[in-house]
Amino acid sequence: MKKAVFLDRDGVINENLKDIVEPSQFHLLHGVSEAIKKLNESNYLVVIITNQPVIAKGFCTFEDMDAIHQKMKNELAKEGAKIDAIYVCPHHPEKGFKGEVPELKIDCDCRKPKPGLILQAITDYSIDVENSWIVGDSETDITAGKTTGLKTILISGKLESAGNADYTFKDLKTAVEHIIIV
């Protein structure tokens, strides 16, 4: 069994823009490469769990999303950091977007706060849930983590508002420092 840190993408790894639909819009947040490298060095699997409804809405394709993620991996690799896996929910339950992809407009089990993507990763990588974490910037991330038994960290500028999270930190770098010493 392997320990892992599940990371939400937008708002934790990169700037949380409204819709990131092409690689040029993707920018790592300060300290992210260093934080992920520390997780790698501490023998944590690093797994991205991300809702990307822009695919279902028709704003970008799976190929566009793959290009965005390749840019992320390349930028991290330049600093000696790596992502072990990326799980994407491309679905969105609401209809009415011009160019939407009808077969992806469903109420699925993989869109956070539902735990489908996390459960799939746990199975795929034999993850030790009791010694693993999820780091996200929204209550949907925290709920998905709690549902699967992960320890939870909320990334927020409002440190007093942990909500249901076990811990709250201002950024991924600070969160990882905590994970490594616990």
Residue in 8, 137, 141, 171 annotated catalytic: 8
Q: What confidence tens digit (pLDDT) does each residue in 35-68 have?
A: 999 999 999 999 999 999 999 999 999 999 999 9
Q: What global pTM score does this model have?
A: 0.95
Is beta strand 167-169 parallel, antiparallel or unpaired with respect to 151-155? parallel
| SS3 call for 51 | strand
| pLDDT beyond 60 at 160 | no
| Set 10, 137, 141, 171: catalytic member | 10
Q: What share of the chain is helix, strand, coil (3-state, %, to 5)?
A: 35, 20, 45
Q: Decide if pLDDT at 159 tops 90.
A: no
- Residues 108-146: tens digit of each pLDDT: 999 999 999 999 999 999 999 999 999 999 999 999 999
Task: Check pLDDT > 80 for residue 149.
Answer: yes
Q: Mean pLDDT, to the nearest integer, of 76-90?
A: 98
137 is catalytic: no
Residues 6+ apart with CB under 8 A from 96: none
Q: Where are the extended beta strands (E) located within the chain?
A: 4-7, 45-51, 85-89, 133-136, 151-155, 167-169
Token output for 35: 């934080």
DSSP-assigned letters across all residues of 160-177: T--TT-SEEESSHHHHHH
Band (70; pLDDT cuts 50, 70, 90): very high
pLDDT in tens, 11-38: 999 988 889 999 999 999 999 999 999 9
Q: Is the dihedral of CA 133, 50, 32, 155 positive or negative?
A: negative
Task: Give yes or no for a cis peptide into 113 (omega within 30° of 0).
Answer: yes
Q: Average the pLDDT over 63-86 and give the result.
A: 98
Report the alpha-carbon distance of residue 178 to residue 176 in Å, rounded.
5
Query: Is 10 considered catalytic here?
Result: yes
Domains defined for the chain, CATH in brackets: 4-181 (3.40.50.1000)
